[in-house]
Structures are given as structure tokens and as C-alpha cells.
A = this chain, B = another copy of it.
């Protein structure tokens, strides 16, 4: 194959390396002893910083993977005989190998449809109305989980989130947000983090950093703090409590410092816009979904796919190459040159 250095990554934002500020933060953290398991100043600082960022009291716990953040969150929101409503394309449904079922002790994911990878309040209400709540034969609706950014690369508006929340409140179920790409949504909406979370009714947030320049760090953020104590036992029992937790928290602290997180996400978003514009110009097509953030789904002729791969571009072909559905993801370190060189390959293979 190719040397690693020659490859240009549009495969995934988690194929990108760690941003230098975060690597440096690990080096800086590395002095002297610190008590383990989160009883350290760096972790306390992380909670304080997130509280400040979200403009509210909260509890925050670092974990190392997005799946851990999601499923530990879900585990405190549902009994084992409960169901979690989510989009049928949700990461928790399709890409976590049953981790939600495992961590919840066998709860069910109830799949909803909806355009652009988004659940609407109406669709949720319709499903909940028919859910059999209170009937002992049926699993009991317990939570709704949405992804912000969605798996399609689209973004919920604050109003859409608030509408979903109103339904959740009506049916007395919890509201979780999978924010693996939360930064990209805040950067794109140019809103306050509070606007699309607790102010819109979100109870728990998986606040992702790994896909946006961290090494392995996510924070589970409790706006509704009721289950935070239970979370701590479940995190330990899930083997996700790090002895040297400070190195997780240090990543998040560096990520938040001086707006680094939004800067990194803004770069990724901008590069997707540049790519989408270029694709539109060259191919005269529109992508499969609105390009709200840093993910593009589009269709490419097989000869272009071949040419791109030969030129060292990494990206996913979804299904058959003849059909040519591809996913392109830009990252914090994607450059204009990389986008343009990608587009050049397309032009040369028109």
C-alpha cells in the first residue's frame, strides 16, 4: 500500500491525528503525583470549565470513547425493560455492536425514521402515543437519544431540539444527546452551547472531543444531575474509570482553552463547505443530505473513486462501487490544499 505520510484523510475525523495543543497538554500535565480515579485537580478543573462553558451547574465525567459516553449515559436513563427512541441511522443502533443493550441490561432501541437523519417531534410523539406505556407486555419508553451532528452530517436547530424535548417531557422520558461532533454543531450554528442543550431540554450530553482533535476524551455532562451518583458506579463497573484520569481531563481542558474546540471544528466545517461547493461545481449534483457540518454523502462515478484511491485519498464507499455512494469527512487538520487536490482529481476524471 501507500506510505502513511502520503495518505490524505477524508475517511473519518477520528483517522486524523491529535492536535498539537492537546499532545502538549499531556506533557505539561505529566509532573508529580496526583490521586487516582478522578480525585485530582485537573478533573475538578474540567468540570468547572464545562460549567462555565454551558453557563449552568452541571456534573461532568471524563471517559475515553464516544461509545462509552453514550451507553453509560443511556444506562442511567432506562430500566432494563425500557426502550430508547433513536433514529434508525443512529450510531448507537448501527455502530456500537450492541453496547447500548449491554450497558442498559437489555433495553431496546426503538427506531424512528425521519428525513436527513433527524427525528422530528411529530414522529416521536406518534411513536410514543402507540408505545404501550404502562402495559406489562410492552417494553416501556424511557429515553430519546439524538445525535448532534447527526450521522448524516445534518444539524438540529435549537427550535427542533426544544420541540423534541417538549414531547419527551410530555411522556416523561429522558433526553440524551450524542454529541460526538457537538463542536461542529456549535461552530455551525454559531450559538451558545447552552442553546442546544439544557436550554432546549437536554438532560445528558455526550460531549465529544476525540473526533475533533483529542486523543481519546469525551465528557459525559449531566444537566439533570439526579443520576450522576449512579453514573459513577456504572462507569467503574463498565471499566471506564481511569486510574490516571487526569490525562483524560487534561485533554478536555486544553480542548476548551481559548476556544480551541470551536476553532478546530470551524476548520473542519469550512473544509466541508469548500468540498461541497467544489463537488457542486464539478459534478453538478447536490449531496444526499444538507452539508451542515463536516460530513458529505454524495455519489461519484466509479472511475473517480478509482482515481481518488490511487492518488492516496482515504474515504468510505458505502455499498457497491458501481453505485458510488461515498462519505467524505473533513477534520480539524484538513487543509484547503487537500480539498483542492481532491477536487482536482475529480476534474481530471470528468
Q: Is there contact, CB below 8 Å, between A243 and B108?
A: no
Does A199 count as interface, using CB distance less than 8 angstroms?
A: no
Q: Contacts A5-B32, A27-B23 hold; do A244 and B215 have CB atoms under 8 A apart? A: yes
A: contact size bracket? 35 or more
Query: Which A residues from 215 to 247 make CB contacts under 8 A with B?
Result: 215-216, 230, 232-244, 247
- Hey, which chain B residues are within 8 Å of A137, CB to CB? 37, 94-97, 236
Q: B-facing mask of A1-25, CB < 8 A → 1, else 0?
A: 0001101110110111110100100
Kindly report which residue of chain B lies nearest to residue A314, judged by CB atoms.
B33
User: Among B64, B67, B239, which residue has its beta carbon within 8 angstroms of that of A99?
Assistant: B239
Tell me the bound Cα distance from A60 to B129 in angstroms: 30
Tell me the bound Cα distance from A152 to B247 in angstroms: 28
- Hey, which chain B residues are within 8 Å of A241, CB to CB? 65, 67, 136
For this chain, the copies found in one complex come to 4
Q: How far is the CB of A336 from chain B (nearest CB, A)?
A: 17
User: Among B72, B99, B104, which residue has its beta carbon within 8 angstroms of that of A237?
Assistant: B99
Q: Is there contact, CB below 8 Å, between B17 and A4?
A: no
Q: How far is the CB of A178 from chain B (nearest CB, A)?
A: 13
- Hey, which chain B residues are within 8 Å of A26, CB to CB? 18, 23, 26, 215
Kindly report which residue of chain B lies nearest to residue A109, judged by CB atoms.
B108
Does A101 count as interface, using CB distance less than 8 angstroms?
A: yes
Q: How far is the CB of A214 from chain B (nearest CB, A)?
A: 9
Q: B-facing mask of A153-181, CB < 8 A → 1, else 0?
A: 00000000000000000000000000000
User: Among B96, B234, B236, which residue has its beta carbon within 8 angstroms of that of A236?
Assistant: B96
Q: Is there contact, CB below 8 Å, between B67 and A215?
A: no
Does A269 count as interface, using CB distance less than 8 angstroms?
A: no
Give 30 A-B contacts (CB < 8 Å), ordered by A residue. A4-B32, A4-B34, A5-B31, A7-B32, A12-B243, A14-B244, A15-B34, A15-B36, A16-B33, A17-B30, A18-B247, A23-B26, A23-B30, A65-B239, A65-B242, A67-B239, A70-B239, A79-B233, A81-B234, A95-B138, A98-B106, A98-B139, A99-B236, A99-B238, A101-B101, A104-B106, A108-B109, A136-B232, A136-B236, A216-B248
Q: Shortest 5 CB-CB distances between A and B: which pairs?
A: A101-B106, A9-B33, A14-B243, A68-B239, A67-B239
